[in-house]
Amino acid sequence: MSSSSLTRRSALLAGAGLAGAAMLQSREATAAPSGRGWDRSYSGGPDRAASPPAEPDRDYRPTMTPGGATAPWKVVDGVKVYHLVAEEVEHEFAPDMKARCWGYNGRVHGPTIEAVEGDRVRVYVTNRLSAPTTVHWHGIFLPNGMDGVGGLNQRAIAPGETFRYEWTFRQSGTFMYHSHHDEMTQMAMGLMGMIVVHPRKEPADEQVDRDFVIMLGEWKVVPGASKPDPNEMTDFNLLTMNAKAFPGTVPLVCKTGDRVRIRLGNLSAMDHHPIHLHGYYFKVVATDGGRLPRSAQWPETTVLVPTGSTRTVEFVADAPGDWAMHCHMTHHVMNQMGHEIPNMIGVDMGQTEKKARHVVPGYMAMGKDGMGDMAQMGMAIPDNSIPMVGARGPFDYITMGGMFTIVKVRDELPADGSDPGWYVNPPGTVADTATTDELRRDGIVV
């Protein structure tokens, strides 16, 4: 091949590439009329001037972390100052189920850090653990030396020391923070929390009435043990929303017609969680990389939240009721003690189980008809553990545990914002025994 033909060919290819790029650009322009191209990241150098510190209820509508808390802050010379104290915490996952975990400010997980784009923030981290630690700010644009990876970006914070992290938020969205030193141990013990950054000026058509924050997590706490086991790789037995396992989770209370946002973050060690909402569809509107253009938001009833990610969904709560919201992996809506017992489906154990208990105290087999009946038997379980499933509901036993909560939508809410109790269904709208007349009318033979 001559050099001239080579040149011609390269020129042709280059031309095709240019045309392609132009087409892509024009398509992007159509898809994103706001002109969003590449929002600049940032890793230091002269910082963009911070905006005046934004105030809740004046500049933004605060979020709510059901079962958790929002970190307090104060303003010092135009900077929002936060203080996280990493320490051992006696944490209650659900009534009668506690463990000594690691958390921040007496909480597991740590409080949600909430701020507004343009806010300058200073976060002091005090280490009251027995081990060195760091904090990484997942998804946040900040100077490299503030990124918190132990050994890489800073030396670890020794027990007793207090470090200062500082940056200006240059983006909005849903992010997370967590230990980035001996992650396997420290994250399994609970050292994590959520970060919410509101836009400085939220467009009117993106504003919501309720803004919930939920961190998904998984733990191994051997029944009777007093601490989580960070060595577990596969068999997690406590699946949590904001570190609470059902029936310990706190419901999401909404008024009929509310525009609702749910920010889900996942820092589970080994699992992704498909979170399913009953009664509605929602739109996936954002990830930890930012908000999706309207044309890229898609309707779903289940959103997969990969570990190390956030997914934000929005919907209009226009259907009153008690709607379940849970991980759709069935082993993630159970609590402890469910996974190492023999499969007894269809086997009538008769007296066998009682006899086995003489030899192996506490011996327990799966019920002949599954786990559901076991939950309600009030069987003897080791101290400091919770049955596999359940809590009493308005009709019967709710045979779920773990990563399960309830979205309670009501026309009228208690003035004090408390739990409105169980939903009262309009007459004739609850599934119940079919009458003989109904069966005869519809030609159903049973």
Binding region for Cu ion (CB under 5 A): 273, 327, 329, 332
Nearest to Cu ion of 200, 331 (CB atom) = 331
Burial code (b: 16+ CB inside 10 Å, e: under 16) for 110-130 equals bbbbbbbbbbbbbbebbbebe
Minimum distance from residue 67 beta carbon to Cu ion (Å): 17
Which residues, 6+ apart, have CB-to-CB distance to 81 below 8 Å? 73, 74, 75, 121, 122, 123, 124
DSSP β-ladder status, 97-104 and 252-255: unpaired
Nearest to Cu ion of 120, 332 (CB atom) = 332
Nearest to Cu ion of 273, 291 (CB atom) = 273
- Could you give the C-alpha distances from 356 to 295, 338, 345, 371, 380, in angstroms and in order? 61, 18, 18, 19, 14
Amino acid in position 81: V
Nearest to Cu ion of 168, 266 (CB atom) = 266
DSSP track, 236-266: --EEEETTB-BTSS--EEEETTEEEEEEEEE
Minimum distance from residue 302 beta carbon to Cu ion (Å): 11
Minimum distance from residue 155 beta carbon to Cu ion (Å): 36
Minimum distance from residue 42 beta carbon to Cu ion (Å): 34
Q: Are 175 and 117 in contact (CB under 8 A)?
A: no
DSSP β-ladder status, 173-178 and 136-138: antiparallel
Minimum distance from residue 245 beta carbon to Cu ion (Å): 12
* Distance between first and last Cα of the chain: 82
Q: Are 254 and 210 in contact (CB under 8 A)?
A: yes
Q: Are 125 and 87 in contact (CB under 8 A)?
A: no
Beta bridge partners of 303: 275
Nearest to Cu ion of 113, 262 (CB atom) = 262
Nearest to Cu ion of 96, 235 (CB atom) = 235
Nearest to Cu ion of 170, 244 (CB atom) = 244
Minimum distance from residue 268 beta carbon to Cu ion (Å): 8
Minimum distance from residue 396 beta carbon to Cu ion (Å): 24
Residue length of the chain: 446
Nearest to Cu ion of 217, 320 (CB atom) = 217
- Distance, in Å, from the CA atom of 247 to the CA atom of 393, rounded to the nearest integer, reads 10
- Distance, in Å, from the CA atom of 312 to the CA atom of 13, rounded to the nearest integer, reads 41
Minimum distance from residue 96 beta carbon to Cu ion (Å): 23
Nearest to Cu ion of 212, 236 (CB atom) = 236
Minimum distance from residue 331 beta carbon to Cu ion (Å): 8
Q: Are 397 and 247 in contact (CB under 8 A)?
A: no
DSSP letter at 110 equals P
- Distance, in Å, from the CA atom of 360 to the CA atom of 291, rounded to the nearest integer, reads 56
Minimum distance from residue 273 beta carbon to Cu ion (Å): 3
Nearest to Cu ion of 327, 406 (CB atom) = 327
